[in-house]
Amino acid sequence: MVFGVPFDSTSSFRRGSRLAPAAIRYAYRNLEAFDPWYGTAFPELSITDLGDLTEEEDARLVVDTVESVVALLKADGKIPIMLGGEHSITTGAVRNFKECSMVIIDAHSDFRRSYFGNEHNHACVTHRSLEILGPGRIFSVGTRSTSREEYEDPDYSKVIFYSSREVDARGMAKIADEIDAAAKGKIYFSIDMDGLDPAEAPGVGTPEPYGISARGLRLLLNKLARRIVGFDIVEMTPLYDNGNTAMLAAKIIQDFLGSREQGE
């Protein structure tokens, strides 16, 4: 079940992620509807697009609304596929998955307790998620930007951070196996598009060099897709895109759906 959250009012650098749901949908419609690798004809899957939530400025209100919408979808046995918007919205979804583990793709640790006086700033989402899920349940992949304050936070080690350097050194296949073995229960999967290399995903709010590759992300998704019960793509902004980021976001959704269809 797809829905968009056009919200970007806490973005600290480049705004525009409120425009991403429309851009990702437009790109998705331009993808081929069949993928022989997965053997999937995407229009035949039972996926509904609910459209977008009403645009609001208040982060707390948006997070609470996302929580309610995802609660309804979950109660109905549906898998939410949320198109952001900025990363703060993920907290609302995660509140519905207290029993799950979480995988985050992100350049940033997003581990601030509060930022600019707002605990629902997008730079705080990993900390908020830790408060919901508890220690040892969150795996954040692609990290390469963190403040000293976050790094020295006594709770920092309660999240398993795989830096992009570590992914480079050890390879995503090994890390995917490790997460698959260590994660307990089902998985909520959150993709901050800036986790990817800006060469592949330039249209993001806060780009950071030396990101993980789209192929690495695909590998991780292939490995974990059948355990995923909630999914989001956030922080993409069409205002800085050459078209490739929206297309990649759309393709990632196909890879998620296709991986679920494919046997082990």
Interacting residues toward Mn ion by CB under 5 A: 87, 106-108, 110, 192, 194
We find the least distance from the C-beta atom of residue 198 to Mn ion, in angstroms, to be 11
The Cα-based distances of 114 to 107, 150, 236 in angstroms read 18, 11, 22
Q: Using CB atoms within 10 Å of the CB of residue 117, give its burial: 0 to 12 exposed, 13 to 18 middle, 19+ buried.
A: exposed
Between 106 and 150, CB nearer to Mn ion: 106
We find the least distance from the C-beta atom of residue 161 to Mn ion, in angstroms, to be 13
We find the least distance from the C-beta atom of residue 155 to Mn ion, in angstroms, to be 17
Between 65 and 206, CB nearer to Mn ion: 206
Helix crossing, 244-261 with 214-224: angle to 10°?
20
Euclidean distance between CA atoms 99 and 172, whole angstroms:
26
We find the least distance from the C-beta atom of residue 34 to Mn ion, in angstroms, to be 33
Residues 5 and 62 sit within 8 Å (Cβ to Cβ):
yes
We find the least distance from the C-beta atom of residue 100 to Mn ion, in angstroms, to be 19
Euclidean distance between CA atoms 11 and 18, whole angstroms:
10
Between 25 and 87, CB nearer to Mn ion: 87
- Reduced to 3 states (helix: H, G, I; strand: E, B; else coil), residue 44 is helix
Between 108 and 127, CB nearer to Mn ion: 108
Between 40 and 88, CB nearer to Mn ion: 88
